Amino acid sequence: MKKHFSTDSATTGLLSRLLGGSNAGPVKAVDGVSFDLLENETLGVVGESGCGKSTMGKSLLRLIEPTSGDIRYDGESLTDLSDREMRDRRQHLQLIFQDPGSSLNPRMKVKHLLREPLTNFRSLSREEQERQIDELLQRVDLPTTVKDRYPHELSGGQQQRVVIARAIALDPEVIVADEPVTGLDVSVQSNILSTLADIQDELDLSLLFIAHDLAVIRHISDRVMVLYLGHIAELGDSEAVFANPQHPYTRMLKQSIPRSHPEQEKDEVGADTGEPPSPSNPPSGCPFHPRCPAYIGDVCEQEYPEEVELADGRSVACHHFEDGDEPVPEGRDLGGSETDTDGSPAVDPSADGAASVADVPDVAEGNVDG
Ligand code: SF4
């Protein structure tokens, strides 16, 4: 699936220029992603600002129309459906946005917000609606007394719980959660993540969870997808990817998480990852090559690396790998040399023209939203 934004209009032209590009080409927000979201799994999507993760989430539900490609749900192509048919399918495919304040109509009380989807899609008596509204509130750990409140009378965490309750009102099978805990206090984040995990389990939901916070993604995901400039850099089992990342970009992200040991943190903060290029003017070949500490040479600048499947089942898009390769063991760089404990090469790879990890800047606080 691809989603490119034309830069013909004044708005997208301005967006392109703000992203550091020119008016010449489209903004390639999502430039060819292909993956399965499995039943009852949480697939975490992580990457820096501008990597295309939110655009991808909205395109999957056709809240914005993809430029090309196909999106299949239960064997049916969503891209072929009329607006009316798509509206019907959205009972099963829900989206949770980052900002609950703007997702909830400020003029409606909580009970009206929760009644709305039930009225639109279900034929229920008033008593049955009331019973279901109470049940939804309990499911998201809110007291039923909030029913008569307006959104502005609730905290940010409570508002997001109302958004989640609305999202599950019609027993969906898929939820795309776009930065659902960003901006909330850490303790509130943790509680909402637990609530989401419980709901996912109870309802056998498939959850596409988009975030820029690696700790959050690791906490909630069964599998993780790392996006870079609209491409999948690495996709695989969450524990495997975080324990021993293979793609140089995933390794860079992992190194950006602060360590508890002061010496380790000092090493890491000394690293320099630079800014991601503009999606309207992406680098040739591998889009990560200008920042890559494991750069091989011309092939990285000239050929886009196709995704290959490693022996442990994860996929990686990097010229260092071929189908069926064993993952490179932890503590070794992609050329096979020993690395320091923080994952940086013990031997300076710049001898082959590659940038040193010491030249790759940190992206701070486990939060990759540069
Ligand atoms: Fe780095 Fe080359 Fe792999 Fe891209 S293909 S991640 S530039 S080594």
Q: What is the pLDDT along the chain (370 residues), one digit of tens a residue?
A: 999 998 765 555 555 555 555 555 789 999 999 999 999 999 999 999 889 999 999 999 999 999 999 999 989 999 999 999 999 999 999 999 888 888 899 999 999 999 999 999 999 999 999 999 999 999 999 999 999 999 999 999 999 999 999 999 999 999 999 999 988 999 999 999 999 999 999 999 999 999 998 989 999 999 999 999 999 999 999 999 999 999 999 999 988 766 554 444 433 333 456 778 888 889 999 999 999 999 999 999 999 999 999 999 999 999 999 999 999 998 888 876 776 544 444 333 333 333 332 232 332 334 444 3
Find out whether 232 and 46 touch, Cβ atoms under 8 Å.
no
Both 87 and 169 in one domain: the answer is: yes
One domain for residues 194 and 343 = no
Pick from 291, 299, 320, 325 the residue to mutate for probing ligand 1's pocket: most ligand atoms within 8 Å of its CB.
320
Instruction: Give the per-residue pLDDT at 299.
Output: 97
3-class DSSP assignment, residue 336: coil
134, part of any domain = yes
Q: What is the pTM of this model?
A: 0.85
- How far is 78 from 96, CA to CA, in rounded Å? 19
Output the residue whose Cα is nearest ligand 1's atom 8.
Answer: 295
One domain, residues 210 and 320: no
Which pLDDT score, from 0 to 100, does residue 12 have?
Answer: 56
Residues 204 and 250 in one domain: no
* Domain identity same for 186 and 247: no
352 located within any domain = yes
Q: Is residue 211, in this structure, part of any structural domain at all?
A: yes
C-alpha 231/C-alpha 228 separation (Å) is 5
Residue 188 counted as domain residue? yes
Same domain, 92 and 215: yes
Same domain? For 252 and 122 the reply is no
Query: What are the helix (H) ranges across 230-297?
Result: 238-243, 248-255, 262-269
In the structure, which protein residues have their CB atom closer than 6 angstroms to any atom of ligand 1? Answer: 248, 286, 288-289, 292, 294-296, 300, 305, 318-320
What CA–CA distances, in Å, run from 149 to 98, 118, 144, 365? 21, 19, 10, 36
In terms of residue numbers, what domain contains 341? 239-359
d(CA 245, CA 108): 46
**What is the Å distance from ligand 1's center to 286 Cα?**
6
What tokens appear for 219 in the block?
Answer: 């906490």
In a 3-state reduction of DSSP, which class is residue 72? strand
User: Is-contact 276 308, C-beta < 8 A?
Assistant: no
- Identify whether residues 91 and 210 lie together within a single domain: yes
Ligand 1 atom index nearest CA of 334? 8
User: Among the atoms of ligand 1, which is closest to the Cα of residue 233?
Assistant: 6
Whether residues 247 and 284 fall in one domain: yes
Selection from 91, 161, 165, 164 nearest residue 132 by Cα: 165
- Amino acid 9: pLDDT: 58
Which mutation among 229, 232, 250, 300 tests ligand 1's pocket best, with the greatest number of atoms within 8 A of CB? 300
Q: Which of 162, 191, 221 lies at the terminal end of a domain, its last residue? A: 221
* Whether the Cβ atoms of residue 196 and residue 180 lie closer than 8 Å to each other: yes
The C-alpha atoms of residue 267 and residue 23 are separated, in whole angstroms, by: 40
**Given this model, what pLDDT does residue 260 score?**
52
- How many A from CA of 127 to the centre of ligand 1? 60
Q: Is residue 29 part of a domain?
A: no
312 and 189 within one domain: no
Residue 320 domain-assigned (yes or no) = yes
Handedness of CA 333, 339, 341, 342 (dihedral sign): negative
Question: Are 216 and 285 contained in the same domain?
Answer: no
Domain CATH code at residue 133: 3.40.50.300
Number of domains composing the chain: 2
Q: In terms of domains, do 180 and 278 share one?
A: no
Measure 233 CA to ligand 1 centroid, in angstroms. Answer: 10
